[in-house]
Amino acid sequence: MKKSIKILVSISTAAMITLTSAGSIFADREMIVPGLPKVEYRNGYGAYEGIVAHSTATPEAPAINIRNYEARTWRNAFVHYATD
């Protein structure tokens, strides 16, 4: 009984580590939207003027979904970074 519990705990722990680290594979990858115009900053400033934080609050909408949406609608509104 004790041996089967140890095996179950070991397998569960290994699965949890594997599944949680799989999402961070893309953490260092930049996915730039092609075809964006090269426009200078407003008023000639070469730095960001503000930060807007937005949360989808749904696990079904990871950063890649936000990036893909922005790639289609960047003429209306745009974000620089999306993170999970």
Please report, for the chain, the start and end positions of each structural domain, with discontinuous segments joined by +: 2-73
pLDDT in tens, the chain (84 residues): 688 888 888 888 877 777 665 555 555 566 666 776 666 766 666 665 666 666 667 777 777 787 788 778 777 766 666 666
pLDDT of residue 44: 64
In the chain, how many H helices and how many E strands? 2, 0
pTM over 0.75: no
Give the separation between CA 18 and CA 15, rounded to whole angstroms.
5
